[in-house]
Amino acid sequence: MTVKSTTSKHLGRVGPIDHHNPLQDMHAQLTKAERILKPDRNDIEALRHPKRQVIVSVPVRMDDGSLHYFTGYRVLYDNTRGPGKGGIRYHPDVTLDEVTALAGWMSWKCAILDLAFGGAKGGVACDPSSLSEGELERLTRRYVAEIFELIGPTIDIPAPDLGTSPRVMAWVMDTFSMKKGYVEPGVVTGKPIILGGSKGREEATGRGLMYAVRDVQRTRGRTLDQTTVAIQGFGNVGSNAARLLHRAGARVIAVSDVGGGILDPNGLDIPLLLTHREEHHSLVGFKGATSIDNATLLELPCEVLLPAALEAQIHEGNAGRLRAQVVVEGANGPTTPDADDILKQRGIVVVPDILANAGGVVVSYFEWVQDRYGFFWPESDVIARLEEKMNAAFASVWDEAALHSVDLRTGAYILAIKRLIEARRLRGFYA
Active-site residue list: 121
Selected binder of ligand NAD within 29, 205, 217, 370 (CB under 6 A) = 205
Q: How far is the CB of 259 from ligand NAD (least distance, A)?
A: 7
* Alpha carbon distance 141, 154 (integer Å): 20
Binding-site string for ligand NAD from residue 238 to residue 267, where x marks contact by CB under 6 A and - marks none: x-----------------xxx---------
Distance CA 141, CA 70 (A): 13
**Angstrom distances, CA of residue 164 to CA of 18, 138, 180:** 22, 14, 23
Q: 142, 62 in Cβ contact below 8 A?
A: no
Report helix, strand or coil for 314.
Answer: strand
By CB under 6 A, name the one of 175, 227, 236, 325 that touches ligand NAD: 236
**Closest separation between CB of residue 333 and ligand NAD, Å?**
7
Q: What is the phi/psi pair of residue 125, to 5°? A: -75, 100
Q: Which is nearer to ligand NAD, 34 or 109 (CB)?
A: 109
* Total of chain residues touching ligand NAD, rule CB under 6 A: 28
Measured from the CB atom, the residue of 86 and 185 that comes closer to ligand NAD is 86
Binding window for ligand NAD (CB under 6 A); candidates: 192-200, 227-235, 366-374, 380-388: 227-235
Q: How far apart are CA 93 and CA 175, in angstroms?
A: 25
Closest by CA to 180, choosing from 216, 154, 206, is 154
Closer CB to ligand NAD, residue 257 or residue 303? 257
| Closer CB to ligand NAD, 185 or 360, in the complex | 360
Degrees (nearest 5) of the Cα angle 116, 118, 120? 140
What is the C-alpha separation between 243 and 222, in angstroms, rounded? 20
Binding to ligand NAD by residue 131, rule CB under 6 A?
no
* 22 scored as a contact of ligand NAD (CB under 6 A): no
307 within 8 A of 331, measured Cβ to Cβ: yes
368 binds ligand NAD (CB under 6 A): no
By C-beta, is 308 or 421 nearer to ligand NAD?
A: 308
235 binds ligand NAD (CB under 6 A): yes
- Residues ≥6 apart with Cβ < 8 Å to 73: 53, 54, 55, 56, 94, 95, 96, 99, 121, 122, 123, 124
Q: Which of residues 293-352 bind ligand NAD (CB under 6 A)?
A: 294, 308-310, 330-332
Does 198 interact with ligand NAD (rule: CB under 6 A)?
A: no
Question: Can you give the binding site for ligand NAD, defined by CB under 6 A?
Answer: 11-14, 160-163, 205, 232-238, 256-258, 294, 308-310, 330-332, 357, 360
